[in-house]
A and B are shown apart, each in its own frame.
Chain A
Amino acid sequence: MADDTLFQINLVTPERILLTGMASEVVLRTGEGDASFLAGHTPLVGTIKPGVVRIVRSEGEEVRIAVHGGFTQVEQNVVLDATDGGADAATGSRVTMLVGVAELATEIDADRARVALEAAEARVTELGGSANRAPAEGEVADPELVEAEAAVVRAQVRLEAVDASSATA
């Protein structure tokens, strides 16, 4: 590899590869807290919690992506293949992020996310009010409430991604 501080990253959604290329740093939220990956990180498999993934590209540019849960895998000395776009080295380290839904911060409509957040919060209070917010009693949580809460988190993550990127810009 030409540069030891760089590694291959693939941010993949079920329907396409959202982002691929070389990067120098990846920061994301795993099941056990925030993690930052640099080149040469120990091989790892972990979950990705809904949140903002920051990727520092090889050109120094920082990309923010709102992700809504998934998995990540860090590998060392793997054979990079055609799916790893842009890699000219035969082997190297690779960080793969598999996420169900992901949006580039630059593609997020902040106003829409804000509206969605308000709507989702209203829905949660509406449902939570009637259910008296006691999911501990019956283990079967109201699926609509779960969905509404997930919608709140989604909207929050989107806004977080947008705010952070506009702050740095």
Chain B
Amino acid sequence: MAGGQERILRRRIKSIRSTQKITKAMELIAGSQIVRAQGRIAAARPYQQGMARVVLETALGDPTAAGRLLGTPENITRVLVLSIVADRGLCGGYNTTVFRTTERLVASLVADGTEVRLVTVGKKAQGYFRFRGQAVDKSFLGMSERPSFTHARDVAAAAVTPFVNGEVDQVIVVSTRFLSAGSQKIETRQLLPLVDPRNAEEQASHEDEPGVSRNIAPHEDPVRMGYTEFEPDAGILLADLAPRAAETQIFAALLEASASELTARQRAMHAATENAGELIKKYSRIMNRARQDTITTEIMEIVGGAEALRAGAAGDDAGQVIETRI
């Protein structure tokens, strides 16, 4: 019966409306957190820049000391991959794209006969890789929302220590870079050995700040090179420096991943809210039509009934007339 359908639709609209309220709230929350996440990225930048300068200066000071800490190793047989995603879902394709990039990277490394170890950040990664039977060295939870430097230290202990101990030849990070509120991109980059700042041309595209290049420029003056003092000397210093610099980069990656996650969530929740609005509109139409149909049917029934009664009454009258005539 048509009245039943109307009630079903009304219930469904009510349910969509409450979902819409939730998605709307999540959208607003993500939106407000993005600003803070961006602020944290900006606040962390001076340290990263300072670290980059110190590494550069040290690398310039003693090019022979760099050893296996700088540049791209020639013989890579063991690689550690650090994959950074979110703890929570409901953020569109944010997690999936990182997973896919990680899997592709791991597959290509394994195909080359490289031994691969995996360290992940984010609850979603834990479930994903476990389900696919991919062994994970260590997975970190509970830091994707608000990463602190202590978190970065913990991650570094799992991702950097194997390199320092000589267990792996290279450490690669797969994470989402936060270029701006409107653009984030998945990036696979070498964390260790440190990218040699002397030929960091390919890295230049990431340095969106003109300040960085201005700071580096004077060092390229050959007259300036070689008169910097090192305490202790450059080789030892670099060995000290490399893990700290890697830690700093992990922290930056965590912060950017966190901001990207929020942006992805805001976008996904915005789309969900809009979609819920569409559904409400669509179902309201169907419901109104159903109600109209019911009303029309009811009127038809009443009218039909009345017609029939009148027709019956008229028939009786006619009979009487005939009767009286006879």
Q: How far is the CB of A110 from chain B (nearest CB, A)?
A: 23
A129 to chain B, nearest CB (A): 26
Q: Is B128 an interface residue (CB 8 A)?
A: no
Asked if residues A10 and B237 are in contact (CB atoms below 8 Å), the reply is: no
**Interchain CB contact under 8 A, B214 and A83:** no
Q: Is A13 an interface residue (CB 8 A)?
A: yes
Complex alpha-carbon distance, A136 and B190, angstroms: 35
Q: Which of A45, A81, A100 contacts B58 (CB 8 A)?
A: A45
Which of B43, B218, B241 is within 8 Å of A16, CB to CB? B43
Nearest CB to that of A83 among chain B residues? B46
Chain A neighbourhood of B232, CB < 8 A: 31-32, 46-47
Partner of B54, one of A16, A30, A77, A98: A98
Q: A12-B47, A78-B215, A82-B211 are in contact. Are A73 and B251 (CB under 8 A)?
A: no
Interface members, chain A 1-45 (any B CB < 8 Å): 10, 12-17, 30-32, 35, 42-45
* A58 within 8 Å of B (CB atoms): no
| Closest Cβ–Cβ distance, residue B179 to chain A (whole Å) | 20
**A79 at the binding interface (Cβ < 8 Å):** yes
Contacts of B40 in A (CB 8 A): 15
- Size category of the binding interface on chain B: 35 or more
Rounded to whole angstroms, the CA-CA distance of A117 and B183 in the bound complex is 48
Q: Is the CB of A47 within 8 A of B215?
A: no
Tell me the bound Cα distance from A81 to B53 in angstroms: 14
Provide the residues of chain B in CB contact with A42, threshold 8 Å.
227-229
The A interface, classified by DSSP as helix, strand, loop or mixed, is strand
A16 to B57, CA, bound (A): 22
Give every chain A residue within 8 A of B53 (Cβ-Cβ).
73, 75, 96
Q: In the assembly, what is the distance between CA of A71 and CA of B228, in Å?
A: 15
Central interface residue in B61, B152, B228, by most chain A CB within 10 Å: B228
Which residue of chain B is the closest to A101 with respect to CB atoms?
B149
Contacts of A83 in B (CB 8 A): 45-46, 49, 211
User: B316 contacts the other chain (Cβ, under 8 Å)?
Assistant: no
The answer to whether B218 and A73 touch across the interface, beta carbons within 8 angstroms, is: no
A44 touches B218 (CB 8 A): no
Is B248 part of the contact surface with A, judged by Cβ < 8 Å? yes
Collect the chain B residues with CB atoms within 8 Å of residue A32's CB.
231-232
Cβ A14 vs Cβ B230 within 8 A: no
B134 at the interface (CB under 8 A from A): no
In A76-114, the 8 Å CB interface with B consists of 77-79, 81-83, 96, 98, 100
B211 adjacent to A81 (CB under 8 Å): yes
Given the contacts A15-B148, A73-B54, A81-B215, A98 and B230 also touching, CB distance less than 8 Å: no
The CB with the most chain B CB atoms within 10 A, among A12, A17, A32, A35, is that of A12
Give the contacting residue for B228; candidates A15, A45, A82; CB below 8 A. Answer: A45
A31 touches B231 (CB 8 A): yes
Contacts of B224 in A (CB 8 A): 43
Task: Give A10 to B232 CA distance when docked, in angstroms.
Answer: 21
Most chain-A CB neighbours within 10 Å: which of B49, B234, B251?
Answer: B49
Once the chains bind, are B149 and A47 in contact (CB under 8 Å)?
A: no
Interface residues of B in 222-245 (CB under 8 A from A): 224, 227-232, 234, 236-237, 240-241, 244
B46 contacts A100, C-beta separation under 8 Å = no
Q: Are B240 and A47 in contact (CB under 8 A)?
A: yes
In the complex, the chain B residue whose C-beta lies closest to that of A47 is B240
Q: Would you call B44 and A15 a contact (CB within 8 A)?
A: yes
Is B51 among interface residues, defined by CB-CB distance under 8 A?
Answer: yes
21 A-B contact pairs sorted by A residue (CB < 8 Å): A14-B149, A14-B251, A15-B40, A15-B44, A16-B44, A17-B46, A30-B231, A43-B57, A43-B228, A44-B228, A44-B231, A45-B61, A46-B230, A47-B240, A70-B244, A71-B240, A73-B53, A81-B211, A96-B54, A98-B51, A100-B244
Give the B-binding residues of A (Cβ under 8 A).
10, 12-17, 30-32, 35, 42-47, 70-71, 73, 75, 77-79, 81-83, 96, 98, 100
10 closest A-B pairs by beta carbon, nearest first, are A46-B231, A14-B149, A43-B228, A81-B211, A44-B229, A32-B231, A16-B43, A12-B47, A98-B50, A30-B231
